[in-house]
Amino acid sequence: MVPSGIQDSAYSPPHFFYCRCQVSGVRCQQKAGVILPAAGFGTRMESNQPKQFLELAGEPILIRTVKAFLENPEIHCIVVAVAADRHEQVTALLEQNISPEKLDKILLARGGATRQQSVKSGFDTLPGEIELVLVHDAARPLIRTDLIEDCLEGVREHGAVIAAVPVNDTLKLVDTNDTIVQTIDRAGIYRAQTPQGAQRHLLEQAYQVAERDGFTGTDEASLLEHAGIPVAIVSGEEQNMKITRPGDLKIARCLLGEHPMIRIGHGFDAHRLVRDRPLILGGETIDFPMGLLGHSDADVLSHALIDAILGALGEGDIGRHFPDSDDRYKDINSLHLLEHAFGLAADKGYSMGNADLTIICQRPKLAPHLEQMQHNLAGACNSPITTINIKATTTEKMGYTGRGEGISAHAVVLLRKA
Ligand code: CTP
Ligand code: MG
């Protein structure tokens, strides 16, 4: 079923479109369209659904790609080639994420068993008035509008172009035993990206020749080359990566700031000093006639550090993770809670950048214990000792800490993406 907004056959453009370019001094009126092949299985991604439907910074990859082309005023029509059994899913996704007036620009085509077949099906679905055709992998959602413009401009100038980037690394030919056979001269070697585009009649000619010869290529340029049609290079962009394997998704998420490289958190805690409790600070038991009151061991320094870590992760606070109504945490060694909190950071791929802690305590003198506390906290965070700095200060007998009624602690933490 095709919803009212998304058309799958007849196409009536909402506006007549004049592109801004000049070809041979004549004002060009060519209409541009793009085909987005999105019918692959994403086998190398090893996910439970094709990669184009996975979320990237809060949006499915396919939607990001569609929006990139919708933003470009020169693109008159977008044909998305999708697997037959995904038709309804894609329709619903588009309706949820794209405003109704823009849906008019989008057509769905039935994808095929290979990328080439999917693109060809998209090509056959293009409205007749589209004369300039781009093809862009749905799995390249980081495409920037500048590159789209460069490719359109390139097609007008050269007839057929692809976005490509020069190879930076030294190239090795390797045999089946993973042994180098030869170093390949990388001069003039480029990695092909998309968009790849051509004047419609050139792409049509390339398809006819490919069909005649039974030729299959992994991109449009291969077909154009096979037909003897020159294809020029437009400077691509490293960030215009194809999401192919799980690691690519992680990189794309970092590029979009979904998982920032650093995160900062602050923690504060205070506990009352009472008789008949041990005084435990930073995992160290300190000889003193009074100790801190609390449900756990009331280690105010470890608690401040835990709160700073949880804060950096956006994971609330210590009370949410270790409620004082839970008997499991009665008198517990807070270093175990710290281990757990830092484990959450490690699970999200963060390591300790550094932590700076201040204990506010009138008595006892803490200087002799600071180094051991540093060891204990660094150990619980599985981090080098140099990442933890602990200071102790008094408030010159002012306030509740100055009167010896309690001890408080501040912690600031910087977590770094490992
Ligand atoms: N594609 C397509 N139809 C196919 C195969 C691929 O439309 N039969 C699309 C993919 O959805 C993707 C683009 O072509 O947007 C590039 O292909 P690729 O990265 O190889 O994606 P998949 O084929 O889905 O992944 P894999 O090869 O790992 O299975
Ligand atoms: Mg593939």
DSSP symbol at 289:
S
The pLDDT of residue 24 is above 80: no
Average pLDDT, the chain: 93
* Residues 207 and 312 occupy one common structural domain: no
CA distances from 262 to 142, 213, 255, 414 (A): 22, 54, 13, 7
Residue 1 lies in a domain: no
Assign 418 a pLDDT band (cuts: 50, 70, 90).
confident
Instruction: Please write the tens of the pLDDT for every residue from 167-223.
Output: 999 999 999 999 999 999 999 999 999 999 999 999 999 999 999 999 999 999 999
Token reading at 173: 């030919």
Mark whether 173 and 233 lie in a shared domain.
Answer: yes
Specify whether 228 is located in the same domain as 294.
no
Residue 173 lies in a domain: yes
Q: Are residues 111 and 216 in the same domain?
A: yes
- The best mutation among 115, 123, 134 to test binding of ligand 1, ranked by most ligand atoms within 8 Å of the C-beta, falls on 115
Whether 16 is in a domain gets the answer yes
Ligand 1 centroid distance, CA of 6 (Å) = 23
User: Does residue 57 register a pLDDT over 60?
Assistant: yes
Tell me how far CA of residue 83 lies from CA of 66, 87, 113, 117, in angstroms.
Answer: 16, 7, 9, 11
CATH number, domain with residue 317: 3.30.1330.50
The pLDDT-based confidence of 28 (bands split at 50, 70, 90) is low
pLDDT digits (tens, 9 = 90+) for 219-242: 999 999 999 999 999 999 999 999
CATH of the domain at 92: 3.90.550.10
Out of 255, 289, 309, a domain closes at: 255
Determine what percent of the chain is predicted with pLDDT higher than 90: 90
Domain end call among 206, 237, 255: 255
Residue 63 half-sphere exposure toward CB, CA atoms < 13 A: 19
99 and 222, same domain (yes or no) = yes
> Distance (Å, rounded) from C-alpha 94 to C-alpha 82?
12
- Of 255, 276, 291, the last residue of a domain is 255
pLDDT at 291 over 50: yes
- Domains in the chain: how many in total? 2
Distance 140 CA to ligand 2 centre (A): 13
Torsion sign over Cα 134, 227, 117, 11: positive
Same domain, 233 and 293: no
Distance 122 CA to ligand 2 centre (A): 17
Residues with CB under 6 A from ligand 1: 37-44, 50, 52, 81, 111-115, 118, 137-139, 242, 244
Helices 334-347 and 300-313 sit at what angle, rounded to 10 degrees?
Answer: 20
Full residue range of the structural domain in which residue 369 is found? 261-417
Q: Are residues 202 and 303 in the same domain?
A: no
Encode pLDDT of 338-389 as tens digits: 999 999 999 999 999 999 999 999 999 999 999 999 999 999 999 999 999 9
One domain, residues 250 and 265: no
pLDDT at 259: 75
164 Cα to the center of ligand 2, angstroms: 18
Say which DSSP state 7 is in. B
Instruction: Tell me, yes or no, whether 225 and 282 share the same domain.
Output: no
Q: What is the pLDDT of residue 6?
A: 56
Q: How far apart are CA 85 and CA 93, in angstroms?
A: 14
